[in-house]
Amino acid sequence: MDKFGMHNQTEQLYARYEGTGNADTTRYEWLTNQHRDTLAHYVMDDSLAMFISIAEGESVVRTKFKMLERMQQPCGPPPKKEDS
């Protein structure tokens, strides 16, 4: 495969999946995508959600709800943009 074909494939991946990032992705955006993907996996996998709920001593539904709430801003508020 030539380098142009590989470039087209990576561009298609970037367009299809937001979490893959690109050269302009900031550290905060990348970490936010990683945390959201992880939390989404925990919510969708019933055995993991049950394990976490037992460890926290709460119901499975409340644990899933708290994870869904954390998905809004998993890494806290975004950093302020610096004027360059």
pLDDT (tens digit, 9 = 90+) per residue, 25-35?
A: 888 988 998 99
pLDDT of residue 47: 96
Q: Report the domain count for the chain.
A: 1
Q: What is the pTM of this model?
A: 0.74
pLDDT of residue 83: 66
Mean pLDDT by runs of 10 across the 84 residues of the chain is 69 74 82 92 96 97 96 89 70
User: Whose CA is closest to 23, among 8, 10, 37, 4?
Assistant: 10
pLDDT of residue 57: 97
Q: Do the domain assignments include residue 77?
A: no
pLDDT of residue 68: 95
User: Whose CA is closest to 14, among 28, 30, 1?
Assistant: 30
Q: Give me 78's structure tokens.
A: 């975004």
Q: Give the position of tokens 């950093």.
A: 79
pLDDT of residue 26: 87
Percentages of the chain per state (helix, strand, coil), in multiples of 5:
70, 0, 30
φ/ψ bin of 67: left (φ > 0), alpha (ψ from -120 to 50), beta (otherwise) = alpha
pLDDT of residue 60: 96
Domain limits for position 51: 24-70
Q: Do the domain assignments include residue 36?
A: yes
